[in-house]
Amino acid sequence: MAKNGSLKIGDFGLAVRQSGNGWSEDEGDCVYLAPELLNGQAGPPADVFSTGITFYEIARGEPLPKNGPEWSKLREDQIQFPENMTAELRALLASMMSKDPSKRPTAAEVCNYALIRNAVNPAMTKTP
């Protein structure tokens, strides 16, 4: 986190060409792995899942499991949200972490959620 409070998240543990070639199951960080990647189905929805589960980890305030029953539940639409989490954030995260990649919003749609728009530093979103 920068002194001004901004946060940048980057993960290059798994880089895949859009065609899906060159991916193997033992690359990347299993904590943020989208369920479809276990079947070799790489694509933009997997990135939305990984971003959603990262937001979930930040919002819940504790590390996510690397395996086990809770790891599986997070990929089966069985998410245990903290009681203090707003309904709006729950809905956004549930959609981003949907087991079905076709039901996840696109990255552009995520950026259009009021919750995200209101949280983004306006100075960082201005175009020249």
Which CATH number does the domain housing residue 44 bear? 1.10.510.10
Residue 2 in domain: no
Name the band, by pLDDT with cuts 50, 70 and 90, for residue 2: low
Ranking 16-25, 77-86, 104-113 by mean pLDDT, the lowest is: 16-25
6 falls within a domain: no
pLDDT of 119 higher than 90:
no
In this predicted structure, what is the pLDDT of residue 9? 64
Q: Give the integer Cα–Cα distance in Å for 110 and 46.
A: 14
Instruction: Give me the sign of the Cα torsion angle 37, 15, 113, 106.
Output: negative
Residue 42 lies in a domain: yes
Cβ–Cβ under 8 Å, residues 52 and 45 = no
Q: Which domain holds residue 64?
A: 30-118
Which position has the higher pLDDT, 115 or 105?
A: 105
- Give the residue-averaged pLDDT of 93-100: 97
Q: Is residue 123 part of a domain?
A: no
Q: Among 51, 32, 53, 54, which residue's Cα sits nearest to residue 109? A: 51
In a domain, 9, yes or no: no
Q: Hey, what amino acid is at 58?
A: I
* Geometric angle at alpha carbon 56, from 54 and 126, rounded to 5°: 65
Number of domains in the chain: 1
Looking at the chain, the number of H-run helices and the number of E-run strands are: 6, 0
- Read off the tokens for 104: 């996840």
Mean pLDDT, the chain, integer? 80
